[in-house]
Structure 1
Amino acid sequence: MYSAGTKPKQIPKELIDKYRRGETHAVSFLYQLSQVLQFQVEMKETVTTGGVIGFYFAFCAVIDGVEYKTGMGINKKEARLKAAQLAVEELLSNLESDAVLPDAAVGPPPLPVKEQNSLGPDACPARAMIERKNPVKDQVPSAVKEMFSRLMDRYPEFSGCGGTVAAFVIQSPTGYEVVAVGTGNCNTKESLAPNGRILHDSHAVVTARRSLMRYLYRHLLLFYSRNRSLEEKSVFQLDENTKLLSLKSYITIHLYLNQLPKGASQIPSHLRLSPLSISAWEVNNQIGLHVTVDGKVFSVFSSTLDQTGSRIISMSATDKITQWQVLGFQGALLSHFIEPIYVSSIFIGDESCSDTRGMEIAVNQRVDGITSKLPMYYCGYRPHISLVPSVIPADIQSTQRTLSLNWSQGDVSLEVVDSVEGKSVEGSPFKSGPALASRLCKAAMLSRFSMVAKEAQREDLLAAVSYREAKMMAKRYQEAKSVLKSYLAMRGYGQWVEKPPISDHLTM
């Protein structure tokens, strides 16, 4: 199955042993294999096979465009698990006999050693089995470039705000659509306030994610419109089993970043290249949790954190991506209506970046094995992470570095936020009112939540008296969040830093 003169990449014996012992969930293990063997995997909803009688869900693993055997179950989670198990067994039967399975190394927490690029693309067994050009890596950056260029052509006075860009792209049978864009690289200097009208974190991926949430609220209103033609335009469909909404089965979401996010993704190269020559303390300090204060990054183990005083502290962009790939990008409020939403791929268009190993460790390896501990609907979803050509230069020198742009599909105009002040600027094309509160702030999100709850006739949610109460009512989400924080702490990555609850005290 391999090309002449090549051999498979090593599959650590420990990975397979943990899976065989039942310590690793099949879905997580399949994504681990995708990182080791460098193939792209997607869990796709399909139709039941074999004339099965009764109401069953069906999924299959799609590996580099090839569909594996169909798994069925009484709910989507069970069907995904069965499909992953079938794919894993087929992969292992093809690969295990030929792969080298080294014993686990003794030393600090495991860090993958960077692979040398002396072998050609055929050295990867999955690629040797299936030779197929993957258009996603071309289409996503192209769509982002086109949309960002269109926005900047319309608002050239803000072209200097594009130094750090993040965008969410939806893939469907009709093509690739950019649905949310964010730029920015700062935190606010303002104090926490109970009115929810200040943006605390305006880093690009955080801004893009909040723009994505606005897009999701918009499509929830379409779904609950009681107008059939509008409902059909929504990206959501009802899951009859869970009574929650899910993305339509043909929709996939990708994330594009033009820089490696702050935090553990940016670990020094010597940690990636020589994991056995460094101390366990240094490993934990670098791949553990990080926070940002005034735009600067600190490890949660750093003594400098004690000197930050009353300034607002946010978890790093890398850690937030790690969180979202477990809890979903929708957040607590939206989880009342929809199943968790994960991104299938993260594309890094950073010309100064030579590999994505740091991000793979931070986003995937740190939460390895968490899926079996999570409540229903949640999993440690392992995105395919890869480098793509830079389409938006990340080194723009400008006096607009403290400005942050946001846009989502359906918006008439851009909003420009002063990241340091945490609110929109006077010259912003979009302004919510004289107070200049951003359309991404908590108060704005709570307003959309109330609107959707009313359209969905959810009297239980409308009875909540505050933003915090509405969040805490999302029981499964809060349970998953608690599991994630405990899991990261237990594995030595540090304590998740929460903002004081005063920031959630705004009322409905």
Structure 2
Amino acid sequence: MLSVEHNALQQTLPTLSHGYKRMRDDLHDTQQSVWPKKRSKPSPANSSSLSSNQSSTNNNSNNNNNNNNNNGDTSSPSSKNALMLLHELKPSVEYKLVAQTGPSHRPIFTMAVEVNGQVFEGMAQTKKEAKQAAAEKALRSFSDLPFQLPDDLANESEATTATTTTTTTTVNTDNDITNDSSSLLIENNDNIQRTTQSPNIVEPREIQSGLSPLYLLNQLKRDAQFEAITDEASSSSSLLTTNEQREFKFAVIVDGQRFIGMGRNKKIAKTRAAQLALEKLFGMCFDKEGGIPIESDTLPTDLPYSRRNLADRIATCIQDKFNQLTHNDVRIQRRKVLAGVVQTRNYDLETMEVICVTTGTKCINGDRLTLNGQSLNDCHAEIIARRCLIRYCYQQLKLLIEENNHESIFEKIPDSDRFRLKSSITFHLYISTSPCGDGRLFAPQEAVSEQSPSSTTTNQDPNNKQTGHSLRKSRGLLRTKIEAGEGTIPVTAKSLYQSMQTWDGILGGERLLTMSCSDKLCRWNFIGLQGALLSVLIEPIYYTSIIIGSLYHSEHIRRALFARIENLVKNIPTPYGLRRPFISGVSSPEMRTTSRAPNHAFIWNCVDQKCEIVDTLGGLTTSRESSFISKAVLFQQWLTLMRQIKLDTVPTIYCDAKQLEANYQTAKIEINKAFQKGGFGLWIIKPHEQDEFDLSSGDATLLRQTNQSMPSMD
């Protein structure tokens, strides 16, 4: 009897030991995923042994997972990162337990996940490992997604893919190679494959994950290595177009294959190499983010450079200037949105001049509004960038009026006391992400419509959007920013009285409402950037291009910035009217920042050549002074110029001065009517009391600040 019990106990102990070991390993894996240890960089002497050990470990893991890789390719992404990466690319995926087989002490779990209508299963001894196996298979299926792929990628897929229009040419390295700045090269052993697109085919869309290709490649292939290529071929003039400088060339080595990218700087070269590796190994596509760019009314068609090159140069110009200004202070480097304005002459990229660089994502608190016009109500980066541009226009008018300097960007209109922008001058806006409001109402994974942007029509019914969109009822609506926070909400006002905010109501606790950046940009594309005061002196000025650094979707940004009311604006007085800017994304989108937005805004403009840090919740600088771009400072500059030009009595009350240009006010009313007529809501009106300040007596501090901050150009 005792021997029987002893034998039963001996048979049970291995099972308990195995179960305990499996539970302990799962707990260890969980701890490693939550608190990952810092991996030390292997020395060159030990790199070969470490690589062989890692390869052996990976092979054993693949064997234990019951040959999850169907095609036998060992270049699969690390199972440790498969779940995380698939969640970032497809946040809404769900895993289901399909089956549980095997004995109770050693079960085999089968987990399934559905991605784009396809079901992928993974089998393992734990549910976690089974999920990872299923996620890994799903990642490999990206070459089967419903967008066009090169032939060499389609052949690797198990499913049948659509016919592609991409041609692949193999060229020996000893031969002459000619390509443009956007060419991507694959080098395997001694050959280079160059992919070229058919000119009359719509290019494939980019996966809208909001993630950088460098980040994606690092998550999938931790051992990927980049190396700079400085051979004669990379510096040969035959690799460059006639209008571009020498390009950088980087290669990334993944699973023994080399993928080469070229660009005008190292970051772009590395990004393009990573893009090509992801396209070749995982079927991802990064050629166009969110569809094709939106053409402009004024941008010439015979420029000596590509539209994408223009967008990349503008973005790099602003980013480099911001890095140059903030490299000594980590505190002001913190930002969520970066914006800036660039000026060009005769569309020559070599004449680029940075007008301003700004950051910021918040608005003033309602209880900190002022009645003297010295605080900034809206500190979103693209809004204060426009105020910096207005300040620059005042300085250029001063050059022409006071000094008769013909280097000014303005010229006098014959037989008139008004001025206009020279035809050779253009302004370009860069925003590191899509503007808040309607321009950001889309899912990053959303497919681009089959329609081209030019064929999109404006719907007068805001609910009559594309069928199937989860946000179709909200798209196109006017939206307001959240006080002292981020994000926007639709306008709820149903009558004129509800759309008017009152001073005592806000001080009593009502929320201060500020229109979203998408709505403001939309109105500026019709009435200009100059504002009510400058409209008395100059003809309207517009952005020639708007470059979006990330979360760019051509259909939605087009609708947000002009298309939703394009056919609804009637009887707008000349010279006001729609000027469609060129709108485009960039080759290397910025990564989405998940950190908390700071409560300050960074401002630099070329007039003052100084950096300002503004408390976004209070609207004043950190030294409790008025900003150089506040209402009061700009109004004082306007008064100075008006007294030199106009012989009539100049109003010194801000709200009265804004009413001088009747056509501008009429244009604003027509735009607001168009929004209301289309069912998109009512434009929210700020309290009138904040515009009733008077500068007749002149604030001594304000006058001194204005005079000191308006330098003249020699």
Q: Same fold (TM over 0.5)?
A: yes
1:312 match: 512
2:482 match: 293
> Of 146, 151, 163, which residue of structure 1 is paired with 2:325?
151
> Of 424, 428, 437, which residue of structure 1 is paired with 2:626?
437
Q: CA deviation at 1:211?
A: 1.1
Please tell me the residue identity of whatever aligns with 1:447.
Q
Q: Could you list the runs of 5+ residues in structure 1 that have no partner in the other structure?
A: 10-34, 45-61, 67-130, 427-434
CA–CA separation in structure 2 for the residues paired with 1:260 and 1:376: 30
Local SS of the residue matching 2:474: helix
1:196 match: 373
1:356 match: 554
Superposition map of 1:331-350 within 5 A:
331-350=531-550
1:458 match: 646
1:83 match: none
Kept in 2, the 8 Å contact 1:39–1:63? The answer is no
The 1:450/1:393 distance shift into structure 2, 3 A limit, reads farther
> Of 547, 563, 577, which residue of structure 2 is paired with 1:365?
563
CA–CA separation in structure 1 for the residues paired with 2:642 and 2:593: 43
The 1:134/1:277 distance shift into structure 2, 3 A limit, reads closer
> Of 300, 323, 338, which residue of structure 2 is paired with 1:165?
338
Local SS of the residue matching 2:472: helix
Aligned length: 383
1:13 match: none
Q: CA deviation at 1:268?
A: 2.4
CA–CA separation in structure 2 for the residues paired with 1:271 and 1:390: 19
Superposition map of 1:105-184 within 5 A:
135-153=309-327, 155-160=329-334, 162-172=335-345, 173=348, 175-184=351-360
Kept in 2, the 8 Å contact 1:139–1:176? The answer is no
Kept in 1, the 8 Å contact 2:427–2:543? The answer is yes
Cα offsets for 1:113-145 (capped at 9, x unmatched): xxxxxxxxxxxxxxxxxx956641232112112
CA–CA separation in structure 2 for the residues paired with 1:370 and 1:223: 38
Q: CA deviation at 1:5?
A: 9.4
The 1:354/1:261 distance shift into structure 2, 3 A limit, reads closer
CA–CA separation in structure 2 for the residues paired with 1:152 and 1:390: 22
Kept in 2, the 8 Å contact 1:371–1:380? The answer is no
Which moves more between the two structures, 142-151 or 488-497? 142-151
> Of 645, 661, 682, which residue of structure 2 is paired with 1:474?
661
**Percent of pairs identical after alignment?**
26
CA–CA separation in structure 2 for the residues paired with 1:189 and 1:424: 15
Kept in 1, the 8 Å contact 2:292–2:554? The answer is no
Establish whether residue 490 from structure 1 lines up as the match of residue 677 from structure 2.
Answer: yes
Establish whether residue 410 from structure 1 lines up as the match of residue 607 from structure 2.
Answer: yes
1:113 match: none
Q: CA deviation at 1:371?
A: 6.3
Please tell me the residue identity of whatever aligns with 1:325.
N
Kept in 1, the 8 Å contact 2:527–2:667? The answer is yes
Cα offsets for 1:36-61 (capped at 9, x unmatched): 985744538xxxxxxxxxxxxxxxxx
Kept in 2, the 8 Å contact 1:184–1:403? The answer is yes
Cα offsets for 1:54-111 (capped at 9, x unmatched): xxxxxxxx32539xxxxxxxxxxxxxxxxxxxxxxxxxxxxxxxxxxxxxxxxxxxxx
1:12 match: none
Kept in 1, the 8 Å contact 2:338–2:360? The answer is yes
Establish whether residue 232 from structure 1 lines up as the match of residue 406 from structure 2.
Answer: yes
CA–CA separation in structure 1 for the residues paired with 2:323 and 2:408: 26
Q: CA deviation at 1:410?
A: 2.2
Cα offsets for 1:397-419 (capped at 9, x unmatched): 36x71100111112231010000
Local SS of the residue matching 2:436: coil
Q: CA deviation at 1:154?
A: 5.2
Q: CA deviation at 1:238?
A: 1.4
1:423 match: 620
Spell out structure 1 runs of 4+ moving beyond 6 A: 2-5, 302-308
Please tell me the residue identity of whatever aligns with 1:425.
T
1:97 match: none
Kept in 2, the 8 Å contact 1:465–1:507? The answer is yes
Q: Calculate the TM-score normalised by the size of structure 2.
A: 0.49
Which moves more between the two structures, 188-197 or 400-409? 188-197
Cα offsets for 1:456-495 (capped at 9, x unmatched): x2243x5213100000111111010000000111011110
The 1:411/1:393 distance shift into structure 2, 3 A limit, reads farther
CA–CA separation in structure 2 for the residues paired with 1:5 and 1:156: 46
Kept in 2, the 8 Å contact 1:170–1:252? The answer is yes
CA–CA separation in structure 2 for the residues paired with 1:392 and 1:459: 51
Establish whether residue 376 from structure 1 lines up as the match of residue 577 from structure 2.
Answer: no
CA–CA separation in structure 2 for the residues paired with 1:391 and 1:236: 35
CA–CA separation in structure 2 for the residues paired with 1:380 and 1:233: 28
The 1:390/1:189 distance shift into structure 2, 3 A limit, reads farther
1:114 match: none
Cα offsets for 1:404-459 (capped at 9, x unmatched): 01111122310100001111113xxxxxxxx522222211121111122123x224
2:207 match: none
Kept in 1, the 8 Å contact 2:294–2:558? The answer is no
CA–CA separation in structure 1 for the residues paired with 2:293 and 2:481: 32
Superposition map of 1:250-289 within 5 A:
250-269=424-443, 275-278=465-468, 283-289=472-478
Higher RCO, 1 or 2 (CA under 8 Å, sep at least 6)? 1
The 1:278/1:132 distance shift into structure 2, 3 A limit, reads closer
The 1:155/1:239 distance shift into structure 2, 3 A limit, reads farther
